[in-house]
Structure 1
Amino acid sequence: MSLGGRRDSRFGRLLRHGFTDPGAAERLLDSPALRPAGSDGALLDSLAAAADPDLALRALVRIAEAQTPAGRTVFVETLVAGKPLRDRLVAVLGASEALGDHLARRPGEWQELASFDTAADLHPGIADFEAALAGADDADALRIAYRRALLLIAARDMTGTTGFSEAAAELADLATATLRAALRIACAETPADAERCRLAVIGMGKCGGRELNYVSDVDVIFVAEPAEGVAEGPAMQAATRLASRMMRLCSDTTAEGTIWPVDPNLRPEGRNGPLVRTLASHLAYYRRWAKTWEFQALLKARPVAGDAALGKEYAAAVAPMVWEAAARENFVPDVQEMRRRVEESVPAAHAGRELKLGPGGLRDVEFAVQLLQLVHGRGDPELRGPNTLQALAALSDGGYVGRRDAGALDASYRFLRTVEHRIQLFRLRRTHLMPEAEPDLRRLGRSLGFFRDPVAELGVAWRQHAAVVRRLHEKLFYRPLLEAVAQLEAGQARLSPEAAGQRLVALGYADPAAALRHLRALASGVSRKAAIQRTLLPVLLDRFADSADPDAGLLNFRKVSDALGSTPWYLRLLRDEGAAAENLARVLSAGRLAPDLLLRAPEAVALLGSQEALLPRGRAALEQEILAAVGRYGTDAEAAVTAARGIRRRELFRTAAADVIGAYAGGAAPGAGGEAEAAEPAGGAEPAEPAVVRVGAALFSLNAATLAGALRAAVQAAWGTTLPTRFTVIGMGRFGGQELGYGSDADVMFVHEPREGVPEEEAARAAFAVANEMRRLLQIPATDPPLPIDADLRPEGKSGPLVRSLSSYRAYYGRWSLVWESQALLRAQPVAGDADLGRRFIELIDPLRYPEGGLDDRAVREIRRLKARMEAERLPRGADPTLHTKLGRGGLSDVEWTVQLLQMRHGHELPALRTTGTRAALAAAEAAGLLDPADARVLDEAWRLAARVRNAVMLVRGRPGDTFPSETRELAAVARYFGYPPGHAGELLDDYRRTTRRARAVMERLFYAA
């Protein structure tokens, strides 16, 4: 074979052995530094097994070049003849660029890998690591010794001598030994401080659980007591100096690099609290102030350094508090907040790469295991271990988690933690992000044993394991409950009734016995229906638990299932349409209005299959459907309007469900943890209308179409196709402004005009009969919600005729009209009936509501007087004026009267102000320079917030209200609607007061100004 042929053969062999740059590999293998090892097939085989053969080979050359001539000879000979060492060395160098750099800087340390001859070499403990660090007497020596020990851990890990659990435990033991060495050095530097106190270091987090990462903060808590005869003050000062020095010895960067940061922020009061406390001070804080997450953190507390007796005393004293945490009054909201913090802690830019915090990440498993420990560990001491995998095994052994589920989660957790270890080992940097570059993914995949197609195989495995973890709440929290109540076969979790009740209480269910009855009714048996329910319920229960009233959510779901359970499409929809089950759970647990509407006609659950199905239908489509339904009933007006009201009920449910689910892009109030209500869309698109505006528009279209149907039914029952008089309905108030809430009446005025040849008296009787019949038909007691008609804004109010002719309106307004009536007409618009008559009515009233020359001083004073009188007389007795959404300070009335005064003063010369909508008029006033942009924003924000509160109250309570609920659970549900985390309803009230206080200041300056 020619020389070129031999070279091509070697080139191909290098490619097959995993090298990505065979040309460079050839040069390195032939370099003087590696001769004769470079031509040895055994070295090539070892490199082929490495995570990154190219990286390993480059590091070998650097290490060889760093040797003395004699040392290089030994090194190369060992590479040829010493297979165990060669494999260990190449495995480490192919996975860790940082350890390659370390060995190149310290060319003799490769020999540390020469053999693992003793049990301590294979399975070292804390004492072995302490011995390895014993000679370190300053920061640099400590770093060198630490890195040497880390090299051995990595070698055992990368050659398969140890698995993830053993490697993580060794890393924790090495951290423990390092903390002890650092404290020893600190005490040696300041022996006087060491004599003044007893100082114990408590390991927390993964160090405490003996499951540490390669690179991680080491979480600690310091507890100290004065030495005999020393006062507490000087003793605590000495202990603080020792603790601070110990932390710096580990955390500071020197010529030899750094070890890891020591993080003491899990201590009482976090970074705001003293670094060191006495045991009594710790216990006082935990008894009085600690939150649930602090007890969750104490699950892993373990004495690791310093005074052993004091450390044990601390651990023994705090342990009972940990296992009583589940009985705390605020346990449920604390748990809900912790879960939300896990979900929301991932930066959006990293959501698809997070191994730790993302969906299906490590924190999901750890949080779930710890929560189950807190719930059930109170009565079962076997669950009280600090290690995640050991605790998961104990939960499985005790029947709290199904064995198959526990096994799958164990495997997924080991895989994800191993991936995390390999990523961190490369540069010895703290990270939890999956790399993006293909070379990094390739090295990572090969380090996990994926050699055929490392990048693709790694991606598949990660997705599979993340999917298992993503269902962890279903698996860990809810499936064992279902298995218990459904009495499934052995091999599954078999919670006792007491344990099942404890779990339900911890998840927020106030009546666990009733919840278990519902679950038993839904999930028991071997029918296909029960099997599907057991598949669906974990998702639903998780959503119910995240609401303010889980019990109501579960009860409502049982009612819907009882009504529709035998309908083939119902369970199929929830099972096959991914969004349907989750949407249903959110709707059923969000309050009373939407569930009540759904339970009156459960088939409307079909609307929940997608957000698109929940978007509002246009007015024309609604009117066409309602008029067609009315037409089918001929002269039976009550049956016709019953059909129209049924359509309205369905559409009310569509609107309420969309609002609850977020299909209208609704979000949080100012200061809340949720989304902004009108977020800017991507790509430069127009901003979406705020949710409250879209709800108002949807309700306007629905009510206008319903009135059109009632009008048609009333006319066709008595007169057939033609009424003796033209008839139109004028929307007023929030109806005319298209700003309806769920609890709004339909404010209207009725206008008629006799047809040619019809006597005035006959036309008036017909018009009055139609108006009265419409009101009656829309308020007949029925299963469908009524649509109350309020005609009190007509001339002369309740004392005036219900219906007037257009000429009568003209005569009245020309002679008797008061300024408040002109103001009320600002929102007038035709909503049903004769369109031409409606247009001519608007032409009649425009000069009144937008008077030429604006308002004179007398009219302005009258409007101000009326507003002040309304504030003084109409606010309900005992109502908090800072929280009343309509008449309170900075509420709807303040904003609307301010805007309406501007419309009446300037509408004649500024056509943009001639609109019935408050926000549209506000925007027009700002554009015309009548309002400062900052003032306009303040008023708009307050108006939207107050309107949304009214909607939220109706959604939660099922009846209208102008102020926040006083009942705790109802107020919590309102806060959840706004996106506030559990337990933060008080923040909603604070934010509301802050927003409306600013609006009130603007209103007083603009409305009452001279």
Structure 2
Amino acid sequence: MQANDWQTSFSAFLHELPSELHEVCQQNWQRYYRATLEQHYILPKEIKFLQALWRLLAFSDYAASIFIKFVDYPERIYQTLLYPTMDNWQDFANDINDINTLMDALRYYRQYHMVRILWRDLLQLDSFIQHVQALTALADSVIQIAVIKLYQWLSEEWGRPQNEKGQEQPFIVIALGKLGGKELNFSSDIDLIFTYPHSGATVGKERAITNEQFFTKLGQQLIKVLSEVTKDGFVFRVDMRLRPHGQSGSLVMNYSALESYYQYQGRDWERYALIKSRVITGQKADAERFVALLQPFVYRRYLDYSAFAALREMKELVNSEIKRRNKEKDLKLGNGGIRQIEFLAQAIQLLRGGQEPQFREQNLLTVLSLIAKAKYISQEEYLQLHDAYIFLRQAEHRIQMMHDTQTHALPKEKIDRMRLAYMMGFSDEKSFKKTLKHHTSNVARQFNRISATPNTEIYIAALSSPAHYKLLWTELHDKESSIEILQKIGYVDAQSIWDQLRLFKDSHLIQSLKNQAALRLDSVMPALLVLLSKEKNASLLLNRMLQLLRSIVRRSAYLALLIEKPQVLKYLINICGKSEWILTQICLYPVLLDELLNPPSWKEMTSKSHMTQILNERLQRIAANDLEAQMEHLRQFKLGCFLSLAAHELLAKESIEVAKPLSDITEVILEQVYHLSLAFMIEHYQIQEPVESIMEQIPFGIVAYGNLGAQELNYASDLDLVFLFDTDDKNKVLQGKVVLTPAEFSLRLAQRIIHMLNVPTATGVLYDVDVRLRPGGSAGLLVSHVQAYQNYLYQHAWTWEYQALVKARCIIGPESLQEKFSTCRINVLSVERLNVTLARDIQQMRDKMYEHRNHLKQIDLKSMPGGIADIEFIVQYLVLRYAHDYPALLNTRSTTHLLQQLGKMNLLASNKAHQLIIIYNQFQIHLRRQILKVEMNGHTPTLNVERAIVEKMWQEIFPVAR
């Protein structure tokens, strides 16, 4: 090909480039063209090929140097450029028989594919994600190839490494950093850790060495193969400093040694580093075992607010390094740079990952999207971080593409600055820098917000003597001086306060705290004393807050929460001061702190569909066969919701209705328990039929009686449940591990549901379940066929069972079964009844209940004369008496709604119905406050007036003496 054949096209191409790039493009082209002539290589004449080649030569001196050496590469690469796949390794692997030929082959392979990846990026054939994935795949492949070869050669020399059981041991390479996250830089170190499962020795040769010696040799050779600079350069620079003990540590450790190190010596920065750990050699089982080994160290089971303290320490280290090395304008380390985006995301991962497994993800862009989806950052913040990360990483890569240098700094040479601006899509350097500043400003603002040092002096600084509060905690041994200070700063009962503080501080629990926990407690206590100093009931509040501290102090990450969010301390004092029940729940299950501090809004909590969605999302993050995690999440969800509703109720300025939301949340949970139990049955019994088919052929339902049926649940209600099934096919069976009839399947399904509700876990019992309202009571079948259930109600039921049926509601089951139950209930309750007999039966039932409660010494607002049960019995009596003539009464189950209906129909005087509604609501509020153990201004209201009104109405409606 003659020069004049391409000269015209080349001149036209140059006019498309900025004038600053003309000279470098010409120089690189001339150097390459001379090389083709010297090597007698004939270039293709296709103009599109040449234009693509010229574009590459204009921007990358590195690519030019590779093409000058291998003049056929441009044509070879261009022929496959449109396909985002790597060439077969075997094309580069001919005659590999020792470490030197392996090194040569890997370098050829790497150079070829690096230029190919570079070229695809400059021609905009790859998205950024595809681009870094290609770089990652290249690194993974060369490591895997090298390990296979080196393992083979070492085994031929020393034998194969085995454990004590004779099982061959693999060499496990762990990728961290960008390689671990599948987001590798163009010119980057690769951060690696080497490990192997078990200790042992090699077998098969006369001379045996230990597994540690074998894998140390392999690791040393792998580093040499990848990073040693030869006439053809290197493959990847290998950084092993992230291994245990850093440069002074063993090159290779087995799983047991790694686990021991991270358990006893692991540091916070290592947790950040290990977030991105990814196994790239060995079998799937080896990778799974390594992940399980690391998980307790990286992701704590609780919400780990200590991650932010570690973030600030790392921030200071990075800032010091930036100043020392003059890196203020570095795209990676500078203010608003790549590292700040990474730290921000990783801090949230460490905080949440123990509780929310979806955050255990290596790739940063994936993590950012998950954080936004979970609403820990806003959509606007997510888009800012996402766009900034893409922009910064693309700029970083294109700087590195110019010369294949490991740099993150903006170029100093004018020609390279122009290259960068043009590659990034800008016509001049000024426009590029303006956009760069926009992105870094967004990142810096968000990073500074999340990494800001918490103002634990926020309350102290507002007072006249801030030093007093610190001295109170640190100098408690000086009783007289401490009590004097306590009095001066506002404590009325200073002696009691001092006594409590001294007892708490001198306790074995506090004296035995590890240093980090003790330091965090020293930060919390002064703020606590500030907040309590102006409270009227300071002694009681301090007692409760010390109870809370006792329950969380050994898990100092919870103390870190109080330090990170000083306003939380004030909120806890407020809510625990209002309810001892809330305090008790938090002390028993500190994991609920986050639920309480980040509750759904009232609007969200009162939306059944929204709460269903939240619970679905939580359970989808858990493995389908992880029953323990499922039950824990269900319990945490329930307790968190109940605590949040209690907080809403106690802090609301006006009375709010919580019985319906409590009932809705319970139904949401029961729906999940049903589906989880059904899935368990299918898997456990190896039933081949799909879920939908089983649900259709064997309709199964749960009927809620009592408070849940009437949607009148309180915080301590148990669940009165009855289980039904319905099938007309007497020959129907389910084939699996065993053959199950519909009745057997339904029975075992019901037992499974009860087990999931009743079994105690680390977070307690989900619900106490009472199934004695089923036909035949405790002696009856746990699950009834719907027809047998109906027959029982018609032929054998007692009046009290009809009373219970007034509140009954089928809450789970196919529409056909729900309709059958509803029809059965209406028909049974609509039967005309003899009034005298009905009244006598209800009075006798009430008397028996009194006697039973008296015997158990359980006289409470529900069961005492004139209490809640009296109102409910009155309503149930009137419904049973009049339902035959007024079927509309059976359309509702709520006591207050039935009272409204009875008043409207003049079946009860409207003024009396209204009065009972008010009293019933008062009783329910009072009962909930009793459950929550709310302080009621130093005394417990007797509600004697209200009870007397109910008693009087009872006597009017039931004139027969009790």
Q: TM-score range by the shorter chain?
A: 0.3 to 0.5
TM-score by length of 1: 0.42
TM-score, normalization by structure 2: 0.44
